[in-house]
Structure 1
Amino acid sequence: MSDSLPQQWLFEQQRLGHALCVVLDSENEQPMRQALLKNSQFDCYLSVYSQTPLADLSEVGPFVFTFDNPHDKNINELFGRPATHWGWLASLPKGHLPKLVEHWRERLIIGQRPDQAVYRFQDARVLARALKHLPVEMHAAYLGPAASVCYWQGARWERVDNPGPGIHPVPAAPLWLQVPAPEQQAREIRRVNARRFLLAEHLDAYVKLAEHQDPDAWLRATLDQAEAWNWLAPEQLAFLLVKSLQVPAQTLTPQWQVCAGESPEEHFERVRLMANFWQGNAPL
């Protein structure tokens, strides 16, 4: 699809009788979200995070809006800046907006507590990478009720048509969670998920931290440390974030550093046991 003509996809989907919708990553698109809300009927949009464990973050989470006019000025404004990663487009049978939102709510939380993360389906980079790696027979389980999607894949607009739009159960081991992310994207995903974890589980301590230093700089430095130690599993990231939050103005003690010949797993287990001991939770 031509970089300058994503509207062709809109007109085609409309001729097929489909509803048009935009999946908006509203975290960095607050003015656009407000503009779309102002011009939408109450039954033409839904917050994906509402009615989920992430409801408190609804204001910065994804929204899905349906619209009728391919010439909508707000939608066309988005077309002019695809590199800002605002989200992507989908078409679906009319009246199926709630089904599409429920589809993504079922795929939103990855893993089990306390090792959970948020799947950022609203990011076109995540969508593009999944569709590139998934076999065609898995597209239906991934796209659900969407008949077709249109998205910016980094250099041009792409489209993928769903071979089996409808309601599909979440596979026991979703292949889209096994797609390796580019390192820069993986870092950004870790940052976003870490920030949401802190806001949801450790809000008071995170707010107190902001009284003395830049919380974003602290978070990036802590995640850089996790990367240096190769502590990238959810349990390891959560442990380092929480323990570092307890001493935000100090450096971690020398015992936290890697010992010679120690693997990341051995390093983590040693430090975890040490921390539990000093907190009186376990024998050393």
Structure 2
Amino acid sequence: MTHSRPYQWLLTHQRLGHTLCVVLDSENERQMRQTLLKNSRPHQYLSVYGQTMVADLCDAGPFVFTVNPGDKNVNELLMRPDSDWGWLASVPKGHMPMLVEHWRKRLIIGDRPHQALYRFHDNRVLAKALRHLPVESYPSYLGPAISVCYWRGACWECTDNPVPGTCPVPDFPLWLQLPVAPQQAMKTRLINAHRFLLAEHLQAYAQLAEQQDPQIWLRATLDQAEAWNWLAPAPLEFLLTQSLQAPAQTLAPHWQARPDETPDEHFERVRLATQSWQGGAPQ
């Protein structure tokens, strides 16, 4: 049975007296989250985004639940690993809040205003990190987790932390220097761009939302940024704000890239032309 290995892992760590946790991607598992919430006491779960600067995203953020091996909801998750619902962790008894606090400190990556959320709760992100990290980096990545169990594409993997405990966040975390999958990069950009527009251009963003689905518009704009390779902070912010202000959110023909232009030359040409037409001096 495909779920026999994680079940044995759960039983082993239960016998050792550890607390067992499900790290759940509640954005894609809302029904399971509600079921677990209904069957849990207040001290048996925490929202990771709660009590952080992204608390407004709690409903779409990860939750951590303490569970038992025989829980029917846990068995259901183990039966469908391909749905990428999250992963399992074993921590010292009563240390579930420490696990949540560990990830809260690693949640926001980048510098303002170009911050993003690290999707640690995605089993694919965890699996990739553990596949590339040296063992000596496991403690700073896994923190109080004694061991983790996760689906890695075609099979279950279990990884032990050699030195579980509280670790400071490194100045240059190795797990943030791994290559990012295109789908994951786009999801991060979508969240980041949405938060940027809410913070800096709320009125214009709200007006756009009255005319069309802002998520569809945002995805199309980010697709354009990707096509032009305008993914650095300056050109991406420029494209977002100018697209928002353009009549009917349609950019003028001179915005199109020319065959002989590099992305930097393209951006600089359009930026200078826009400043000239808007009556501003070049920066």
**TM-score over 0.5 for the alignment?**
yes
Greater shift in the superposed pair: 188-197 or 94-103: 188-197
Which of 138-147 and 235-244 deviates more?
235-244
Alignment partner of 2:248: what SS? Answer: coil
Deviations 1:18-37 (A, max 9, x none): 10001111112221111111
Is residue 2:216 matched to residue 1:217? yes
Q: Counterpart of 1:30 in structure 2: which amino acid? A: R
Q: In 2, Cα distance between the equivalents of 1:16 and 1:279? A: 68
Which residue is equivalent to 2:120? Answer: 121
**Where do residues 107-118 of structure 1 align in structure 2 (5 Å cutoff)?**
107-118=106-117
- Check 1:211–1:171 CA distance in 2 against 1; reply closer, same or farther (3 A cut): same
Distance 1:193 1:114, change over 3 A: closer
8 A Cα contact 1:26 1:63, kept in partner: yes
The Cα shift of 1:201 comes to 5.4
Q: Amino acid of the residue matched to residue 15 of structure 1? A: R
Residue ranges of structure 2 left out of the alignment (5+ in a row): none
Q: Secondary structure at the match of 2:65?
A: strand
User: Per-residue deviation at 1:119?
Assistant: 0.7
Alignment of 1:62-141 (within 5 A): 62-67=62-67, 69-141=68-140
- Structure 1 23/203 Cα, relative in aligned 2: closer, same or farther at 3 Å? farther
> Is the counterpart of residue 31 in structure 1 residue 49 in structure 2?
no
Which of 88-97 and 190-199 deviates more? 190-199
CA-to-aligned-CA distance 1:64-99 (integer Å, 9 cap, x gap): 1112x2011111111222222211111101111121
Distance change >3 Å, CA 277–CA 56, structure 1 → 2: farther
Identity among equivalent positions (%) equals 68
Written as runs of structure 1 = structure 2, the 5 A alignment for 1:1-284 is 3-5=2-4, 6-67=6-67, 69-198=68-197, 202=201, 205-247=204-246, 249-275=248-274, 282-283=281-282
Amino acid at match of 1:46: L
What is the deviation of 1:169?
0.8
| Deviations 1:42-66, CA, capped at 9 Å, x for gaps | 1111111111110111111111111
1:148 positional shift: 0.7
Return the alpha-carbon distance in structure 1 between the equivalents of residues 212 and 197 of structure 2.
16
Deviation at 1:9, TM superposition (A): 1.1
Please tell me the residue identity of whatever aligns with 1:92. Answer: V
Q: Which has the larger radius of gyration?
A: 2
Q: Distance in 2 between matches of 1:272 and 1:123?
A: 38
The residue identity in structure 1 corresponding to 2:40 is S
Q: Name which of structure 1's ranges 73-82 and 201-210 shifts more when overlaid on structure 2.
A: 201-210
CA 1:82 to 1:225, structure 2 compared with 1: closer, same or farther past 3 Å?
Answer: same
RMSD, aligned CA: 2.3
Structure 2 CA distance, aligned partners of 1:44 and 1:97?
Answer: 8
1:36 and 1:57, CA in 2 relative to 1: closer, same or farther beyond 3 A?
same
- Relative to structure 1, the CA distance from residue 205 to residue 158 in structure 2 (aligned partners, 3 Å threshold; closer, same or farther) is farther
CA shift in 2, pair 1:177/1:266, >3 Å = farther
